[in-house]
Amino acid sequence: MSIYTKSCAATIAPFSASPATGKELVAHAIHDHSPRKAAAFVRVNCASIPRELFESEFFGHVRGAFTGAVKDRVGRFELAHGGTLFLDEIGEVPIELQSKLLRVLQEGQFEKVGEDRTRTVDVRIIAPTNRELEDEVKAGRFRQDLYYRLSVFPIEVPPLRDRGEDIPALVQNFLAQATRKLGASAPRLPPSQVKELQSYDWPGNVRELQNVIERAAIRSRNGHLEFGLRATSTAPARATRRVGPASNATPATLDDLKEFVDERG
CA separation (Å) from 8 to 37, 81, 150, 213? 16, 10, 11, 38
Average pLDDT over residues 85-93: 93
CB neighbourhood size of 183 (10 A): 8
Per-residue pLDDT, averaged over 63-78, amounts to 90
256, pLDDT greater than 90: no
Q: What is the CA radius of gyration of the chain?
A: 22
**Which of 48, 46, 150, 55 has the alpha carbon at shortest distance from 100?**
55
Determine if the pTM surpasses 0.75: no
pLDDT score, position 19:
42
Count Cβ atoms below 10 Å from residue 77 Cβ, excluding itself: 27
Element (H, E) at 17: strand 10-17
**In the prediction, which pLDDT does 228 show?**
83
**Distance, CA of 17 to CA of 200 (rounded, Å):** 19
CA–CA separation, 31 and 167 (whole Å):
22
From CA 3, how far away is CA 237, in angstroms rounded? 45
Go through the domains of the chain in sequence order and give each one's CATH number. 2-158 (3.40.50.300), 161-264 (1.10.8.60)
What does the pLDDT average to over 40-68? 92
Q: Which residues pair with 74 in a beta bridge?
A: 60
- Between 3 and 163, residue with greater pLDDT: 163
β-sheet bridge partners, residue 60: 74
> Which tens digit of pLDDT belongs to each residue from 9-29?
444 445 544 444 578 888 998
Residue 123: pLDDT band by 50, 70, 90 thresholds?
A: very high
Q: What is the pLDDT of residue 129?
A: 87
List, for residues 180-214, the tens digit of each pLDDT value. 988 888 888 889 999 999 999 998 888 899 999 99
User: What is the predicted pLDDT for the residue at 245?
Assistant: 39
